[in-house]
Amino acid sequence: MPPTLQLQIGKWGNSLGIRLPKSILEIFHLSEKDKIKCSIEDGKLVLEPVTPQKKYVLDDLLAQVREPEQEVSWGKPEGEEVW
């Protein structure tokens, strides 16, 4: 973790904000348009990265599929399906 940093509040349009240095962005793997959560805890301003929802990849999901150890009986045919 880097040493404590002092950041300056700046004005952008009608808003005020702080800029996060590159070192902080790299530590938390943050980039432009990523979201952070802001809260006040024990009188301190706390910023936390919002974990993005995991994007699933079909190949990764299929790699987790395991064949059953024994054949599964689905019962006798019902209707007109062919087994």
What CATH code is assigned to 9-63? 2.10.260.10
Positive or negative: CA dihedral 61, 67, 73, 78: positive
pTM above 0.75, yes or no: no
For every residue of 32-77, DSSP letters joined together read TT--EEEEEETTEEEEEEPPPPPPP-HHHHHHT----SSPPP--S-
Predicted pLDDT at 2: 61
Mean pLDDT of all residues belonging to the chain? 88
Place 80 in a pLDDT band, splitting at 50, 70 and 90: confident
Instruction: Check pLDDT > 90 for residue 17.
Output: yes
- Structure confidence by residue, pLDDT tens digits, 33-73: 899 999 999 999 999 999 877 788 899 999 999 888 888 88
